[in-house]
Amino acid sequence: MKIFGVILAGGQARRMGGLDKALVPLAGTSLLSHAIARLDPQVAALALSANGDPTRFARYGLPVLPDAASQGPLSGILAAMVWGAAQGATAVVSAPVDGPFLPPDLVPRLCLAAETTGLALAASNGCTHPTFGLWPVTLAPALAAFLASGAKARVHDFANAHGAAIAQFPDDLAFANANSPDDISRLAALLDHPS
């Protein structure tokens, strides 16, 4: 199995006041840098799903994949599937840029869960985290059709329709989101004073 990764950064970051969330600093380092440091060692290649001028991410050295049509995280996942399939990937692991503490064993746990269906989502403490997932690239045509259907583009809906398995993780903090300035402050404090 050849697994590529994609960091999802295509959202509008309304709760961040419209700032480019990927470039927002957390403890002096951008959210994107935190995500790269966690996901890159786990995958064969890594890309960034983002819209707008890609040159703002040039210093990170990642391919920047724009959405064909912006319909939320599934658009970024589709772009990553197409990119990965063209380079021989069998699956793509997605993670949001605002999840800076993603688990160091995200990919192996998702792979174990996906042994029967090929598709898996992460969960912790009774909550599913649908943007943290393993997506076989063979699902790209089905995902393109789902997005083109006009249905509300919910990650859960598509994943459940294709038999997504659930990978359980013990650490709920691993999926903490940095959605707002208050979240940034809270997560920075955790980095300064880990429990």
Q: Which domain, by its residues, includes 115?
A: 3-192
What distance in Å separates the CA atoms of residue 112 and residue 118, rounded to the nearest whole number?
9
Is residue 11's pLDDT more than 80? Answer: no
Q: Per-residue pLDDT tens for 15-40?
A: 445 568 899 998 889 999 999 999 99
**CATH code of the domain containing 28:** 3.90.550.10
53 Cβ contact list (under 8 Å, min separation 6): none
Beta strands in the chain (DSSP E): 3-8, 25-26, 29-30, 46-49, 64-65, 91-96, 120-124, 127-136, 165-168
Q: What is the mean pLDDT of residues 52-70?
A: 93
Does residue 195 surpass a pLDDT of 70?
Answer: no
What is the C-alpha to C-alpha distance for residues 171 and 150, in angstroms, rounded to an integer? 36
Question: Would the CA dihedral through 99, 147, 127, 121 be positive or negative?
Answer: negative
User: What does residue 168 show for φ and ψ, rounded to 5 degrees?
Assistant: -85, 135
**Helix, strand, coil content of the chain in percent (nearest 5):** 40, 20, 35
Given a cut of 50, whether residue 79 has pLDDT beyond it is: yes
Using 50, 70 and 90 to split pLDDT, how confident is the model at 192? low
Q: How far apart are CA 70 and CA 173, in angstroms?
A: 29
Overall number of domains in the chain: 1
- Look at residues 23, 27, 26 and name the one whose alpha carbon lies nearest to residue 64: 23
Q: Is the pLDDT of residue 50 over 60?
A: yes
Looking at residue 16, its pLDDT comes to 47
- State yes or no: pLDDT of 13 exceeds 60: no
Q: Is the pLDDT of residue 170 over 80?
A: yes
What is the spatial distance between Cα 80 and Cα 92, in angstroms, rounded to a whole number? 7
Region 2-15: mean pLDDT is 79
Query: Has residue 154 got a pLDDT over 70?
Result: yes
